[in-house]
Amino acid sequence: MSQSQPRRPQADQASESDQDIAIRYGDVFDVTGGLESKPIAPRDADTMRNTENQVLGLTPKEGAGVVMQAAANLNESAGVVRHNQGNEMVDREGVAVSTSRDARGRIVVTEAIADNLVEQYTIPSSNSQEIAHSPSPAPIGWDLGWATTPSPTTTPSVIDTSNVTIGEALEAAAITVGDKPVDQGDAAAIRTAEAKATGTNVSQLPGGGLGAAAQAAATFNDRVAYDYNKITISDVLTDAATKLPRDKGVTMEDAEGVRGAELNKKPDSMTTPGGVADTMATAARVNQDDRP
């Protein structure tokens, strides 16, 4: 942490001004009924993560528990909440995690907090048996952020191994600008890159993919006052190639699509040097030069 950066207040220094930097439920979830104004507290996050473990046998990276844990850690470090503090509304009305199946046989997970729907995402049918019968592993820790170790079931199906792939380009961005906090432009670029890799539309991307993690990170970062506590590019894109269900060689069309998506969300109309759009463009040029 540089000397020019402000230090977060300790718990015994909390004041009304500290509440201004609190991450509230309304900042990261679409909630109503009074919950939106409540700061996300550690006991709330524990309750959600424990419920996810009981129902699913794991703490999914696309679930509400990971987002709540990140927010609770930030709130605690700001002195807004105490280590074991919870919200009375959450204690009273509880959280819920339920599962069903869609027409394609995938498990649909629905999560609610105090009667507010906060997350809904699908899990591929190939993972169904693992979720139903595997023991609960250690929860995903705050230090891991968004970068989780993929299981063998997430190994991508690579369409073209002769070229630099989209997943590899995203991994390059994780190296070149890894410490940069994810912003809305980065999220848009990552979502478009995932759509190009998987051959789908951005609006049809699954809730648990790279794009969803990037968008959640950007939304989260918009509410955090201190850059050193924000979710970074490397948190989202480390091992990106293994997190894509399908991958492909980067084309000029792919790179232009990603560039347009990033520019559309950049107030200064400039892509990040060495960022997602830049690495995609570089990969596309390499692939084009390698053609016979």
- pLDDT over threshold 60, residue 142: no
pLDDT of residue 106: 83
DSSP string spanning 198-267? HTS-GGG--TTSHHHHHHHHHHHHHT-S-GGGSPBHHHHHTTHHHH-SEE-B--HHHHHHHHHHHHHT-T
More confident residue, 48 or 18: 48
- The torsion defined by the Cα of 25, 28, 32 and 34, in degrees rounded to 10, comes to 20
d(CA 134, CA 1): 40
What is the identity of the amino acid at 61? K
pLDDT digit string, tens, across residues 160-177: 545 899 999 999 999 999
More confident residue, 264 or 72: 264
d(CA 155, CA 245): 7
pLDDT of residue 150: 37
pLDDT of residue 152: 38
Give residue limits of the domains in the chain.
18-123, 166-290
Q: How many percent of the chain have pLDDT more than 90? A: 45
pLDDT of residue 166: 96
Nearest to 45 by CA among 10, 100, 84: 84
**Which of 58-67, 100-109, 165-174 reaches the highest mean pLDDT?**
165-174
pLDDT digit string, tens, across residues 256-280: 999 999 999 998 889 999 999 999 9
